[in-house]
């Protein structure tokens, strides 16, 4: 059916005053057919609107004037995700176990979600209508998975039936005024070394249109049966990569005025090297891709302490996290324990047995992993987990176990907090 269905009308809004109600379908604005919430936001921002609404088998037209930029005041049905047709060597969806939360099985290749939520896309499924919409609605910035600029190597990594050279597509976007953040998922022995250097130099040629590059290690679970053989990065890989990036960052700072490419936090831990400070990350353009999160956490905690805003309540706390962040969190907890009388904390580094020990981030720990950790938590302690473990709804782990189930079965005090310094300081 044409248009988008209204799910909620905000009381007192423009839509409410027009008499719109849930289940009505917004068909068009000023002659533009509405495909989704993005169209509604773009065309609905104008001052004068000719709104076509479908209700009970009939269409009605509403002419209205409002202040420019004021929203109609409706929420509409969720957008259906455009699916990915690649078969990437390292695709995480293929490495999942059964019976996890449904969102983990969605192969997302949707430029709308790239714009709205920072999801990475490969640009492999854009029709001409999609290109036109990106430029018309100024959907910027977009987040692009490049992985390699060598066409043959990129095709090998993406395993799409149609060749997917990326540089012409990046050129088209940048020439159209669209800013891009990019990523390279490094598979040791494939797109590292000289190939990584080539990729970064090719991308730098598009700066400032290409704003940044995140360089992240491939994540491999224990569930890769019948999948291509890959190996995880080790300490030697990490040290070589950081040396390569360090040299290029110095060159980019001279030529571009920015480091441009940034290594994920995991590379420093694998290499056994000290994490850079907050200034290194130039505003954290790739924070959601695991780049600079530890530095930002440390900087936020320092600000809270020095400003006097930190007033953690006395008590005994048991902080659960992944093995990646556990050493840094342990240092932060020790610092707080020495500063605040009556505040005591300890860190439990959870091994990911659900997906495999190679997965070390907190956001991919399962409820069963937390259940094992809770067995180590005393009745007098408050067990604390970061919200990234239950990111989808704030209540359900990726294996379907809920926070309420763990409270009932293991510890009634289990507490979910923001995955930031404030969450560490005010866990209840």
Q: Which residue has the higher pLDDT, 31 or 310?
A: 31
Domain 4-76 matching CATH 2.40.30.200: the answer reads no
Domain 93-291 matching CATH 1.10.8.80: the answer reads no
Residue 385 has pLDDT above 60, yes or no: yes
What confidence score (pLDDT) does residue 37 get?
A: 94
**Average pLDDT for 261-276:** 96
> Is residue 100 very low, low, confident or very high in pLDDT (cuts 50, 70, 90)?
low
pLDDT tens digits, 144-159: 999 999 999 999 999 9
pLDDT tens digits, 174-198: 999 999 999 999 999 999 999 999 9
**Nearest alpha carbon to residue 261 among 308, 193, 215, 326:** 215
**Average pLDDT for 406-415:** 94
**Average pLDDT for 25-53:** 94
- State what percent of residues in the chain have pLDDT above 90: 80
On average, the pLDDT of the chain sits at 93
Bridge partners of 334?
Answer: none
What confidence score (pLDDT) does residue 198 get?
A: 98
**Nearest alpha carbon to residue 258 among 195, 198, 209:** 209
What confidence score (pLDDT) does residue 426 get?
A: 67
> Is residue 308 very low, low, confident or very high in pLDDT (cuts 50, 70, 90)?
confident
> Is residue 227 very low, low, confident or very high in pLDDT (cuts 50, 70, 90)?
confident
Q: Which residue has the higher pLDDT, 171 or 56?
A: 171
The reply to whether 93-291 and 297-425 are identical in fold is: no
**Average pLDDT for 128-154:** 97
> Is residue 226 very low, low, confident or very high in pLDDT (cuts 50, 70, 90)?
confident
Q: What is the CATH number of domain 297-425?
A: 3.40.50
Give yes or no for a contact between 290 and 266, defined as CB atoms under 8 angstroms apart.
yes
Instruction: Please report the DSSP string for 317-346 in residue order.
Output: EEEEEETTTHHHHHHHHHHHHHHSTTEEEE
> Is residue 57 very low, low, confident or very high in pLDDT (cuts 50, 70, 90)?
confident
| Cα–Cα distance measured from residue 155 to residue 54, given in angstroms and rounded to the nearest whole number | 45
> Is residue 245 very low, low, confident or very high in pLDDT (cuts 50, 70, 90)?
very high
**Nearest alpha carbon to residue 38 among 133, 103, 119:** 133
In terms of C-beta density within 10 A (0-12 exposed, 13-18 middle, 19 or more buried), how is residue 264 classed?
Answer: buried
What confidence score (pLDDT) does residue 216 get?
A: 98
CA 428, distance to chain mean position in Å, is: 26
120-121 and 382-386 beta bridge pairing: unpaired
| Cα–Cα distance measured from residue 9 to residue 32, given in angstroms and rounded to the nearest whole number | 21
Q: Where are the domains of the chain?
A: 4-76, 93-291, 297-425
């Amino acid at each position: 059916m044409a248009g988008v269905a209204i799910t909620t009308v905000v009381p007192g809004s423009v839509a409410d005053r027009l008499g719109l109600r849930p289940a009505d379908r917004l068909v068009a604005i000023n002659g533009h057919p509405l495909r989704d919430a993005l169209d509604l936001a773009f065309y609905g921002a104008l001052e004068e609107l000719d709104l076509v609404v479908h209700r009970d088998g009939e269409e009605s037209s509403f002419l209205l004037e409002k202040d420019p930029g004021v929203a109609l005041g409706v929420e509409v049905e969720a957008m259906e995700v455009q699916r990915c047709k690649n078969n990437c060597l390292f695709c995480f969806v293929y490495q999942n176990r059964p019976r996890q939360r449904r969102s983990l099985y969605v192969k997302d290749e949707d430029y709308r979600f790239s714009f709205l939520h920072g999801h990475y896309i490969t640009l492999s499924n854009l029709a001409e209508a999609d290109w036109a919409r990106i430029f018309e609605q100024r959907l910027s910035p977009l987040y692009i998975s490049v992985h390699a600029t060598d066409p043959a190597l990129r095709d090998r990594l993406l395993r799409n039936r149609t060749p997917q050279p990326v540089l012409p597509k990046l050129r088209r976007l940048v020439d159209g005024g669209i800013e891009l953040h990019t990523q390279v998922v490094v598979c040791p022995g494939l797109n590292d070394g000289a190939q990584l250097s080539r990729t970064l130099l090719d991308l730098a040629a598009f700066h400032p249109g290409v704003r940044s590059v995140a360089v992240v290690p491939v994540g491999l679970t224990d569930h890769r049966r019948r999948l291509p053989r890959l190996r995880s990065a080790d300490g030697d890989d990490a040290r070589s990569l950081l040396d390569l990036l360090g040299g290029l960052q110095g060159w980019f700072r001279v030529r571009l005025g920015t480091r441009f490419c940034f290594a994920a936090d995991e590379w420093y831990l694998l290499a056994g090297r000290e994490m850079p400070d907050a200034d290194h990350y130039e505003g954290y353009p790739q924070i959601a891709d695991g780049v600079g999160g530890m530095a930002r956490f440390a900087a936020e905690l320092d600000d809270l302490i020095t400003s006097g805003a930190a007033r953690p309540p006395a008590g005994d706390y048991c902080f659960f996290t992944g093995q990646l962040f556990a050493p840094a969190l342990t240092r932060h907890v020790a610092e707080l324990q020495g500063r605040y009388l009556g505040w005591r904390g300890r860190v439990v580094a959870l091994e990911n047995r659900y997906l495999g020990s190679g997965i070390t981030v907190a956001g991919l720990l399962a409820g069963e992993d937390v259940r094992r950790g809770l067995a180590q938590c005393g009745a007098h302690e408050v067990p604390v987990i970061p919200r990234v473990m239950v990111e989808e709804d704030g209540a359900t782990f990726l294996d379907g176990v809920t926070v309420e189930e763990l409270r009932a079965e293991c510890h009634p005090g289990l507490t979910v907090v923001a995955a930031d310094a404030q969450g560490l300081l005010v866990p209840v």
